[in-house]
Amino acid sequence: MRSFAWLLAGLVACAHPAAEEDGGLEGGKDDRGTSSRFVEVDPTHTNATFRVYVHKALDKLAANDSALARETVKSIASGKVRLDELADLTCADFERVRKDLPDLGLTAADYGLLKRRGSEVTAAIAGEIDGYMWSNRIYVSRGQDPQRLAATLVHEVNHVINRSEVGYYDDLPTSAFLHEYRAFHAERMFDPGYYEGVDLVDYVLTEYELDRTKIAQAILADPLTPKLVPDADAWRTRSVDADAPDPACP
């Protein structure tokens, strides 16, 4: 049985196209080789292909006429939320992911293999999760189509404003259910077609292997809790600067 700790990750919902090759693409690149549209967790490790990949998703969000999409773009552009690929997990975040995915059998030493081109470690993690967050750091897998990556960003930013890495474990399985239901609800607001005909309560319970009988009927009947939109109000009560600093590498 999988542990609850991996739950913060967005689930891989479908087969993954082959990983894109680095280089060869232009756009979204300024003199420093960074994007002006998002702030990377590890700005020292970047490439044009990843920036273009993220920009296409940000374009989808920008084209969506909703406060949810608009404020998600703003939260990312402002650097309140930092965004990177799974290869750029900090070592503390890698340790969390490693413990969350025990079936992969990763070791602490595998951290050194993450950034290698064609890394099997990164591919193995991407085979399990579309996205991951801790504090204000969001990581996404490669190979998602722009619309799905945009939805993943909505989902993970929702976790950030709700400080899910803290509240998630308060009262399992109810707390995890509430945090995931809210994030998926936000995702569905942005991309309703993807969830057409899906019972979102059933979906979250099933995908995250949560025991329905341990969650109160009243909560199952009315599971939506604040906050949904990462707007100024939401950020007023969510100071990412006050989060515990990410521990240094051993």
- Least Å distance between CB 32 and Zn ion? 32
- For Zn ion, which residue has the nearest CB? 183
Q: 88 vs 180, which CB is nearer to Zn ion?
A: 180
Give me the least distance between CB of 36 and Zn ion, in Å please: 28
189 binding Zn ion? (CB under 5 A): no
The helix (run of H) or strand (run of E) holding residue 165 is: helix 164-167
- When binding is defined by CB under 5 A, the residue of 76, 183, 205, 215 that contacts Zn ion is 183
Compose the 15-54 pattern: x for residues touching Zn ion by CB under 5 A, - for all others: ----------------------------------------
From 40-48, 175-183, 188-196, 226-234, span contacting Zn ion (CB under 5 A): 175-183
**In this structure, what are the phi and psi dihedrals at residue 38, rounded to the nearest 5 degrees?**
-155, 160
- Give the C-alpha separation, 51 to 84, whole Å: 9
Say how many C-beta atoms besides its own lie within 10 A of residue 169's C-beta: 15
Distances (CA, A) of 78 to 12, 50, 110, 120, 219: 28, 19, 32, 33, 34
Nearer CB in complex with Zn ion: 153/183: 183
Contacts of 24 (CB under 8 A, 6+ apart): 48, 49
Tell me the window of 20-28, 115-123, 174-182, 190-198 that interacts with Zn ion (CB under 5 A).
174-182
Q: How many residues in the shown chain lie near Zn ion by CB under 5 A?
A: 2
Strand order in the sheet with 82-85: 10-11, 129-134, 137-140, 82-85
* Paired strand residues for 138: 83, 133
| 8 Å CB contact between 10 and 152 | yes
Question: Least CB distance from residue 161 to Zn ion, whole Å?
Answer: 13
How far apart are CB 228 and Zn ion at their closest, in Å? 14
Nearer to Zn ion, 100 or 180 (CB): 180
Return residues touching Zn ion (CB under 5 A).
180, 183
